[in-house]
Structure formats: C-alpha cells, structure tokens
Structure 1
Amino acid sequence: MLIMNEKIKAREVELTGLNGEDLGVISRDEALALAKKHKADLVCTSLFSSPPPCKLVRRGQAKQEATKEKKGQQGSSALIKVKEFRLTAHIEEHDYDTKLSQMHKLLAAGKAVQPVIRIQGKEGETARKLLERLVQDLAEIGKKETGLQISGKQATVKLLPI
C-alpha cells in the first residue's frame, strides 16, 4: 500500500530529495511544503522505522510505479489452469485416442490436465487401470502431481507439464 502526502501521520520524517539527495530529518509539515514547492508527492517508503523514511517523487509517478509493480506481481503469481477431462471406465479405443491427443496438446502448451473417470458399481479396478494407461501414454510430456485418487464415484489424477 502506498502512503502519500497528508496520509503520513508521523511528526518528523527522514527525507530524500527528488534526485536522491539526503535532506535529513525534518518535520512533516516542512516536507509537505517542500513537496508542494517542487510540484512533487511525499511518499513514505517504510513504516517500520522512526522517523519513517520518505522521499520526494514527481507528481503522479509514485502511483504509476505502484500500479506497474502490482501488475507485475499478478502476472508472476498466476496459477496454472487445469483442464478436466471426463471419461468412463469402459471407453472405446477411438474415444480414448481423441482424449489422449487433446490432453497431449494441452500439456505441450504448458497447461495441466486432470482426467476424471466416473465409476459405477464395481468399475474401480477398470478405472484405475485406465488412469495408469493414460499416465503411461503421457509420460514423455507430463508428470503426476498427485497419485491416483480413487473415491466412491470417481477416479482422478492431476498431470502437470514437464
């Protein structure tokens, strides 16, 4: 969060000028007057010291830098999208090949895939074998993030791109 100008509540601040020169410890009011005189903003750089270090920054530039930094952080922390594929335990060979090629394309593009097999009755073992076959067929381009998870109604595994 950016604390600027009148929002700074400290009585004294350690001030740095527009060109990085050290102006020493001065009162907040003097610092605000200097900021107005130079058509600049007074920006607090840290709240964890006393007096807080502040700097003079050209008007509007501080907000631009803060928004750029925020956008940069959002881009780097983006989650990998996971595409879910629904299958049945008794899938036909052609359908299996189609799903396999779709998963292969997504893994090659850097996206994660999660095949989910619906289980009805005693299909648990068939579903497990199908998942193992999928993992084996996609082994050169994807690796398991989770083990095979078989619960009452479905079996699933999450594959990440290598």
Structure 2
Amino acid sequence: MIMNEKIKASEVRLTGLNGEDLGIMPTKEALALAKKHKVDLVCTTLMSSPPPCRLIRAGEAKTEAQQARKQERAPKVKEIRLTPQIEDHDYETKRQQAERLLSGGDAALLVVRIQGKEGERAKALLEALVKDLRAFGRPKTGIQVSGKQAAVQLDPL
C-alpha cells in the first residue's frame, strides 16, 4: 500500500472520506487536500492510469492493510498431538497452544494417540478440549476414533 508522498503518479483518481468521487486531480492537490483534512492519501492499486486513491483517517490505513494480509493468507492446518494420560499442566499448555493457533487464523488438528483400550478416554479428552476452545474455534467434523488415534479438526471463528 502506497501512502502520501510515496505516490509518484502525476494525477490520481480521488475518493473522499465518505466514499464520494472527487474526480481526477494532480497528486499535489490531492496531498494538499489530505493534509488540510488531517488524513492520509492512500493509493489502492497501480494497475490503472490514473491510479485510484482514497482519503483515509490516520491509522486506519495500517489496520486495513493488516486485515487484507490476513484475508490473503490461506489458513494452515497445524497438528497438536496428545496422549490420553495427559497431566493437567500439559493439558493447559496444549490448550493454550491451540488457542494461539486458532486466534492466529490457522486450523488446529487435535490428535490423541491410542494404545490398547484407551479409546473412550481419548474421546473424552478431545470433547473437553473442544469445549474449552469453543470461544476460539468450532469443530469442522466430529471426533473420529480410528485405529491408533482419535482426532478432531477445529477451524478458527
């Protein structure tokens, strides 16, 4: 995103603070208008001539750029492995790790390794984790117990 004095085009197509079209004007005039209103002049794309620019309140441009970057990035699925005999402290650590992943926009795949007759215990552990993480993500599928593992994928809200 190109802002204020970094815009090198001689003319810009300007859009006002409330979305009104202000037409094509020289870049210097647009910068003077932005300074007069104490806002930023932001160029949205350089693919057209003259480039479209907007007047945006100071600080909003950065948050808008961060939102665009977040939406641009495809969410990844990160796996978190657990065992049915997990201690309370380790459980909290894994829960916090899953919270960080989900609030960062990535999906979390919670996998519990099963040995012997631990299937019900593993399912109960995953149900508790899903319940604790309800504020950060929702299950994509139900809890799947198959062979030597039980798994559930949580997608971010």
Q: TM-score, normalised by structure 2?
A: 0.54
Deviation for aligned residue 1:47: 2.0
Larger Rg: 1
Q: Contact (CA 8 Å) 1:15, 1:26: kept in 2 or not?
A: yes
34-43 vs 59-68, greater mean Cα deviation? 59-68
Deviation for aligned residue 1:39: 0.5
Deviation for aligned residue 1:27: 1.3
5+ residue gaps, structure 1, are: 86-94, 111-139, 149-155
Matching residue's letter, 1:14: R
* Identity in percent: 48
CA separation of 1:102/1:42 partners in 2, compared to 1, >3 Å: closer, same or farther?
Answer: farther
Which residue of structure 2 aligns with residue 81 of structure 1? 79
Match of 2:116 among 92, 96, 107: 96
Deviation for aligned residue 1:36: 0.8
What is the rounded CA distance, in whole Å, between the counterparts of 1:34 and 1:106 in structure 2?
Answer: 60
1:1-162 to structure 2, matched below 5 A, reads 2-70=1-69, 77-83=75-81, 96-98=116-118, 100-105=119-124, 107-108=126-127, 109=129, 141-142=143-144, 159-161=151-153
5+ residue gaps, structure 2, are: 84-114, 131-141
What is the rounded CA distance, in whole Å, between the counterparts of 1:161 and 1:39 in structure 2?
Answer: 47
What is the Cα-based RMSD across aligned positions, in Å?
3.6
Aligned length: 112
What is the rounded CA distance, in whole Å, between the counterparts of 2:122 and 2:72 in structure 1?
Answer: 29
Deviation for aligned residue 1:158: 8.6
Q: Contact (CA 8 Å) 2:16, 2:22: kept in 1 or not?
A: yes
Matching residue's letter, 1:142: Q
CA separation of 1:42/1:160 partners in 2, compared to 1, >3 Å: closer, same or farther?
Answer: same
